Amino acid sequence: MTAETTTETTEEATDRPSVLFVCVHNAGRSQMAAAYLSHLAESRIEVRSAGSAPAESVNPAAVEAMAEEGIDISANQPKVLSDQAVKDSDVVITMGCGDACPFFPGKRYEDWKLEDPAGQGIEGVRPIRDDIKVRIQQLITELLPAGSTTN
């Protein structure tokens, strides 16, 4: 059954683009970006997020900021970055992970310069969230050209 599951996952991954968001703690920026992409792309893009040194939990201000947008990330858990996650992704978007992010030829890499929401209240996180949303909307137009089908 494991082999079947792996095969299905591999086939699904080839049917749609995949994006990995990486930041140090996987508790703020990458969580918000992954949530927006999942929400706005409506399953047309495979979404992952991870951190080079994951936190214990998602930043409460990030959870609150996304809740204001109608997106619930309260149950999300930070995940450790793996080479496999990078290999399995078409696009790798880093947000301050520095040299901790592995590099594999043939992948599209972007580094989004975003303020770290760690230690900030909701007032400080909202502009970061809004910046991420604009970037995600642009990414969707790049990865899903007009007229692409949903699956």
Question: Contact, 111 vs 37, CB < 8 A?
Answer: no
d(CA 41, CA 39): 6
Check residue 9 and give its pLDDT: 41
Measured distance CA(68)–CA(82) in Å, rounded: 31
Q: What is 17-143's CATH superfamily?
A: Response regulator (3.40.50.2300)
Residue 137's pLDDT is what? 97
Give the pLDDT of residue 143.
95
Q: Which residues are catalytic?
A: 23, 97, 101
| Predicted pLDDT at 103 | 76
How many C-beta atoms lie closer than 10 Å to residue 128's C-beta? Answer: 21
Query: Where along the chain do its domains lie?
Result: 17-143
pTM for the structure as a whole: 0.85
In angstroms, the CA 145 to CA 151 distance is 14
Can you give the pLDDT of all 151 residues of the chain as single tens digits? Answer: 333 333 334 444 458 999 999 999 999 999 999 999 999 999 999 999 999 899 999 999 999 999 999 999 999 999 999 999 999 999 999 997 666 667 778 899 999 999 999 999 999 999 999 999 999 999 999 999 875 554 4
